[in-house]
């Protein structure tokens, strides 16, 4: 998974770099062509087109990276859940907490009182 992410990041950086370099070149060309109005207008249009393409490429690569991360986390979670369930059963643990992220990692369904809370809330609202 890490190799896939590293390879993706390398390719994404290369894709973005191509557009950044094109943008830099067009910007330099604009500076040189300021005396030539028609050429300047064309360069400015191309510059804006390239800028918009760069923004789209960045957004696409960011979205793709988030999807890769999400898929990787889902795979890890699928592998981890049975391990956590076996461990907690063997150790008699009812909940696992992630202290770094201050979140619940796993809990025994027996201790889930969500439905009872919802019923109490609904009852209180109907009075």
Q: Output the pLDDT for position 103.
A: 85
- Domain membership of residue 112 (yes or no) is no
- Rounded to two decimals, the pTM is 0.57
- Domain membership of residue 26 (yes or no) is yes
How many domains is the chain built from?
A: 1
Domain that holds residue 49: 2-91
Calculate the average pLDDT of the chain.
88
pLDDT in tens, 39-90: 788 889 999 999 999 999 999 999 999 999 999 989 988 898 888 888 888 9
| Tokens at 122, concatenated | 């609904």
Q: What are phi and psi of 97, to 5 degrees?
A: -115, 145
Strand (E) or helix (H) holding 112: none
- Domain membership of residue 78 (yes or no) is yes
> What is the pLDDT averaged over residues 85-112?
83
- Domain membership of residue 119 (yes or no) is no
Question: For residue 35, what pLDDT band results from cuts at 50, 70 and 90?
Answer: low
- Domain membership of residue 29 (yes or no) is yes
- Domain membership of residue 37 (yes or no) is yes
Bridging pattern class, strands 95-98 and 103-107: antiparallel
- Domain membership of residue 60 (yes or no) is yes
């Amino acid at each position: 998974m890490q190799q896939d992410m590293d390879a993706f990041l390398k390719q994404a950086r290369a894709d973005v770099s191509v557009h950044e370099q094109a943008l830099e070149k067009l910007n330099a060309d604009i500076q040189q062509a300021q005396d030539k109005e028609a050429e300047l207008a064309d360069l400015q249009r191309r510059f804006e087109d390239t800028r918009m393409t760069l923004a789209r490429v960045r957004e696409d690569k960011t979205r793709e990276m988030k999807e890769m991360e999400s898929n990787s986390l889902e795979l890890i979670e699928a592998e981890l859940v049975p391990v956590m369930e076996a461990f907690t059963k063997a150790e008699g643990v009812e909940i696992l907490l992630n202290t770094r992220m201050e979140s619940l990692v796993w809990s025994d369904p027996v201790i889930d009182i969500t439905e009872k809370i919802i019923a109490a809330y609904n009852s209180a609202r109907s009075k």
